[in-house]
Chain A
Amino acid sequence: MMRASPARIVLYVISALVLVYLILPVLIIAPISFSSARFLTFPPPSFSLRWYQQYFSNPAWMQATRVTLTVALLTVVIATPLGVAAAYAISQSKLRIMRLIHMALLLPLVVPIIITAVGIFFVYARVGLVATMPGLVLANVMLGLPYVVISVLAGLQSFDPAQEMVARSLGMNRLRSFFAVTLPQIKSSVVAGGIFAFISAMDETIVALFISGGQYQPLTKRMFTALRDEIDPTIAAISTLMTAASFMLVLLASTRQKRGG
């Protein structure tokens, strides 16, 4: 190894500072959530679970949590099969229109979310879907689809379609050969895509701000409103729980992806 040159040392220092900047905000929330202080002080004066207690004993927060979990689960259940079917067709079909369709399915990533949100609000206002559960789920299915499609397409890239042909030539029909031969090989990407759709629905805020209301408000909308008014450490407790949930899900998704597919 060469000795570190001055330029190299500068590189290390800058990179270290940037990494601290990236990580610090993620790490700061947990200590605040376990602090007994009403106002943010650091280091926290004493350990306490009062903000968690406040979260779990507040019916409004609990209702919002139920909405978030229901929406996220339904989003996965609907977006995953739709995304898998679409990705399969895009990768297998030689139709030229498929390229266009592929691009259309990635639109939710391209259009600024604020525009999507306002547009959906106008459409929902016409058809009576504002402040309803189906409205919220449908919007999140749309937002989650690209993640499933991208993940499954990546999985299908390493899959040899000839294998499915063999299964069919042995007498399996299309559907059975898909479930027996193709799906097991892309299972990891399907699971990863579903997990990303779940996280996307759990974290989604902007569309919910416009179209959710009444008893069907997800956690993020209530958090946003609370953050506008005052800084309530209860939000630190919720944030810590949400972050822990996201990290566990991502870990799950990445270990699955590593196992191939």
Chain B
Amino acid sequence: MTTSVPDPSLKHQRREHALMLALVSPALLVILALIVLPVGWLAWQSIYHDGFTLENYRRVFTEDVYWRSFALTFEISLAVTVIALLLGYPVAYLANSVPKGWSILILSLVVLPFWTSVLVRAYAWLALLQRTGVINQFLRYLDVISEPLALVHNTFGTVVATVHILLPFMVLPLYATMQKIPGDLMQAGASLGASPSLTFMRVFLPLSLPGVLAGCTMVFVLCLGFYITPELLGGGRTVMVSMLVSRNVELYNQFGAASAVAVVLLLSVLAIFFVVSRFISLDRVLGQK
């Protein structure tokens, strides 16, 4: 037998690879044990209960409660996304078109609520919107209304508070994209005789579309899985998918059904990410670039 002399650089490279894998493995282990395994467990539990069964999925796709909840969740997410875009675009546009100091101020105001807990903000919205809340008191003081308006414990309250929480996820990618649009393009449009609104529609808006897509994706996907806000502000009537999952676990001990709902929700999210990734880089959606 001939013993081959190990190539020192190859040996070095192998040691380097082993070291890097060793460095990354503790974090990876945590991820595998605490998110990959649990989600895998859910998936398994949704199809296996003393033998393979699709019963849970049959229920999710045929029973009214489930259908209605999925439909409602998609409707609310769509509404929230559209409203967030309509509110977020002007703010991002303004932040992009004012001097640096002002844009820092605007962006800080956008990010500020981001760092208050979702729970705290749900409480704040309850305080503002409930029958004896700040807004109703104010409107009655002005004699605009005689009876308090039902602003919360319904879908309206849920949407108001959800848009509030998700708006930063819309404004930041929009702003990042707008920043990359060269200002001379607008000047070129103007010098060629186009009105400001025409240059905006034909030049600026199309160039900002990747940011629109990134922002909308993030807001929509996050909204699909929202739990705290609808639970506290929906008044029990706005049953979003996440609440279906939690009720099946906590109230009814329907672990199989809960798992199936969770799997369908997760697949919806992954499908959206997949479709979007064909158009723009996912790094952009996740706000990494």
Spell out A's residues near B (CB within 8 Å): 5, 7, 11-12, 14-15, 18-19, 21-26, 28-29, 32, 39-42, 82-83, 85-86, 88-90, 92-93, 95, 98, 101, 104-116, 118-123, 138-139, 141-142, 145, 149-150, 174, 199, 202-203, 205-206, 209-210, 220, 223-224, 227-228, 231, 235-236, 239, 242-243, 246-247, 250
Taken residue by residue from 101 to 130, chain B's Cβ proximity to chain A (1 for < 8 Å, 0 otherwise) reads as 000001001101101111111111111101
A-B residue pair count with CB separations less than 8 angstroms: 245
Q: Are the CB atoms of A206 and B26 closer together than 8 Å?
A: no
Q: Are the CB atoms of B127 and A142 closer together than 8 Å?
A: no
Q: Which residues of B contact A220 (CB under 8 A)?
A: 117, 119
A187 CB to nearest B CB, Å: 18
Q: Are the CB atoms of A210 and B249 closer together than 8 Å?
A: yes
**B contacts with A, residue count (CB < 8 A):** 79
Q: Which of B112, B130, B225 contacts A115, CB < 8 Å?
A: B225
Which A residue's beta carbon lies closest to that of B288?
A150
Q: Are the CB atoms of A28 and B128 closer together than 8 Å?
A: yes
Taken residue by residue from 212 to 224, chain B's Cβ proximity to chain A (1 for < 8 Å, 0 otherwise) reads as 0000000001001
A-B contact pairs, 19 of them (CB 8 A): A18-B91, A22-B112, A22-B164, A28-B128, A40-B133, A41-B137, A93-B16, A104-B32, A111-B39, A113-B227, A114-B262, A116-B38, A120-B35, A123-B34, A123-B37, A145-B30, A231-B126, A239-B120, A250-B115
Q: Which residues of A contact B24 (CB under 8 A)?
A: 85-86, 89-90, 93, 98, 101
Q: Which residues of A contact B128 (CB under 8 A)?
A: 24-25, 28
Q: Are the CB atoms of B41 and A122 closer together than 8 Å?
A: yes
Q: Closest 10 A-B residue pairs measured CB to CB? A: A112-B225, A119-B38, A25-B124, A93-B20, A86-B27, A142-B34, A89-B23, A203-B117, A114-B242, A239-B120
Q: Are the CB atoms of A42 and B134 closer together than 8 Å?
A: yes
A25 CB to nearest B CB, Å: 4
14 more A-B contacts (CB under 8 A) besides A109-B286, A111-B39?
Answer: A19-B110, A22-B110, A86-B26, A89-B23, A95-B21, A112-B221, A114-B246, A114-B262, A116-B38, A118-B259, A122-B38, A205-B117, A239-B119, A239-B124
Q: Which residues of B contact A242 (CB under 8 A)?
A: 116-117, 120
Q: Are the CB atoms of A86 and B28 closer together than 8 Å?
A: yes
Q: Which residues of A contact B119 (CB under 8 A)?
A: 203, 205, 220, 223-224, 227, 239
Taken residue by residue from 53 to 85, chain B's Cβ proximity to chain A (1 for < 8 Å, 0 otherwise) reads as 000000000000000000000000000000000
Q: Which residues of A contact B207 (CB under 8 A)?
A: none
Of B142-150, B172-180, B181-189, B265-273, the one with at least 4 CB within 8 A of chain A? B265-273
Interface of B is mostly: helix
A115 to B106, CA, bound (A): 34
- Given A119-B42, A142-B35, check contact A32 B127 (CB 8 Å): yes
Which A residue's beta carbon lies closest to that of B27?
A86
Q: Are the CB atoms of A115 and B167 closer together than 8 Å?
A: no
Does B228 count as interface, using CB distance less than 8 angstroms? Answer: yes
